Amino acid sequence: MIFRSEASRGYTLSAPATAYVGFLVAAPLLILIAYSFWTQTYVTLDKTPTLKNYSDALADPLVRHLMLRSIWIAGAVTVVTVALAYPIAYFIAMKARKKTIWLLLITIPFWSSYLLRVFAWKLILGFNGVMNSALMMLGLIDEPLDFLLYNEFAVVLTLAHAWAPFAILPIYVSLQKIDPSLLEAATDLGNSPLQRFMRVTLPLTIPGIIAACLIIFIPTVGDYVTPALVGGSDGKMIANLIQVQFGAANNWPLGATLSLIAMLSVGFVAIVFVITATQLGRRIR
């Protein structure tokens, strides 16, 4: 044997991956933090530490508005996606005969390019798009509907579609883990199917629900493609503002500050959510 102990072999083999990810998480973060204390004056970077970026960002009503809207939209996306996904996960775990086929069917669309899927929704929801033309052809409407695209609804619908497998899989796993005799025990002790679901199935899938919510909520707050393509001006989110700072506005310190504020806000909301959900789960007896 080359390495003396199991532990040292474990460290050596996992080192490249962990070091790579660790470096690419920590180093940019440190530089972002540094940038957030500097100032951009036209083309030069002033490296005198200042909190001005933070006070500017927090005082700017646009930043506050976009941040709150990002969190609100991400929250709505999370709720809608998980609510739509739970029955599917339940169906696959508890009722479906060919579980693997169903899981495969659910995940295949997810492997097409995210950009293309969002783009497809833009084509469907557009004023002269697929949905309006189809409805008019069927004679259901006379005029194209103008509330389909370029608003929060379009963003929520598109993202609920994009995140579907991420919501289904964790919930499916937690449902799959439930010992069937627990459900029989609940029935045996007098529960109707609905009571049984509320008192046993639901509390036991709370970890899966929490995982699904986090996997969806966190990246959604920082989503760029969907608001840019289908959000219009009513659907723009914080990521679009950050992109502008790193692009056209060329104000990297402000962009870095906004990134950090977004991360902290997401982290805060996520922690509050996890604690609340866990507490609610404990209440069920």
Partner 1 sequence: MKRPSTLTAYAFLYLVFLYLPVLFLPLFSFNSGTIVAFPIKGWTLDWYRKLGEQDTLIQALWNSLGVGTVVAILSTAMGLFAARAFVRYRFRGQRAAEGLVMLPLVIPGIIVASSMLVLFLFLGLKPSLLTVVLGHTFLALPFSVSILKSAFDDFDASLEEASYDLGVGVFETFRRVTLPVVSPGIIASMLVTFTVSFDEFVLAFFLSGNQPTLPVYIWSQIRFPAKLPNVLALGSILLLTSVLLLVLAEYFRRRSSASEVR
Partner 2 sequence: MTDRNIIELRGVEKRYGTFLAASGIDLDLKEGEFFSLLGPSGCGKTTVLRMIAGFQEPTAGTVLIDGQDMEGVPANNRPTNMVFQSYAIFPHLNVGNNVAYGLRGKAPKGEIDQRVAEALDMVELGGLQDRGASELSGGQRQRVALARALIMRPKVLLLDEPLSALDKKLREQMQFEMRNLQQSLGITFVMVTHDQYEAMTMSDRIGVMFNGRLKQVDTPTTLYARPCDQQVASFIGEMNILPAQLLGEIGNMLSIDAAAFGRIEIERNPNVATSSKDMNIGIRPEQLEIAAEKPEDYPSTVQGTVSNAAFYGENIHYHIRVAGAEKPISVSVPNYFHTVDFKRGDAVWLGLQGASVIDLGTDTK
Residue numbers at the binding site for partner 2 (CB under 8 A): 179, 181-182, 184-192, 199-200, 203-204, 281-282, 284-285
21 binds, among partner 2, partner 1, none (CB under 5 to 8 A by kind): partner 1
Residue 200 or 221: which CB sits closer to partner 2? 200
Residue 186 or 238: which CB sits closer to partner 2? 186
Residue 25 or 282: which CB sits closer to partner 1? 25
Residue 190 or 247: which CB sits closer to partner 1? 247
Q: Quote the CA–CA distance of 104 and 95 in Å, as a whole number.
A: 16
Minimum CB separation of residue 199 from partner 1 in Å reads 20
Structure token pair of residue 200: 């046993």
DSSP class of residue 109 equals G
Q: Per-residue contact track with partner 1, 1 to 20, x per CB under 8 A?
A: xx---xxxxxxxxx-xxx-x
Q: Quote the CA–CA distance of 37 and 21 in Å, as a whole number.
A: 25
How far is the first Cα of the chain from the last one, in angstroms, to the nearest whole number?
54
Query: With binding defined as CB under 8 A, does residue 159 bind partner 1?
Result: no
155 binds, among partner 1, partner 2, none (CB under 5 to 8 A by kind): none
Minimum CB separation of residue 81 from partner 1 in Å reads 12
List Cα–Cα distances, 122 to 27, 128, 204, 234, 263, in angstroms: 37, 10, 38, 15, 28
Greatest pairwise CA separation for the chain in angstroms = 78
What is the dihedral sign for C-alpha 187, 192, 193, 195? negative
Query: With binding defined as CB under 8 A, does residue 45 bind partner 1?
Result: no
Strands (E), the chain: 39-41, 44-46
189 binds, among partner 2, partner 1, none (CB under 5 to 8 A by kind): partner 2
Contact 230, 155 (CB under 8 A): yes
266 binds, among partner 2, partner 1, none (CB under 5 to 8 A by kind): partner 1
Query: With binding defined as CB under 8 A, does residue 79 bind partner 1?
Result: no
Minimum CB separation of residue 245 from partner 1 in Å reads 8
Site for partner 1 in 81-120 (CB under 8 A): 84, 87-88, 90-92, 95-96, 102, 104-106, 108-109, 111-117, 119-120
Per DSSP, the three-state class of 44 is strand
Q: Quote the CA–CA distance of 143 and 255 in Å, as a whole number.
A: 42
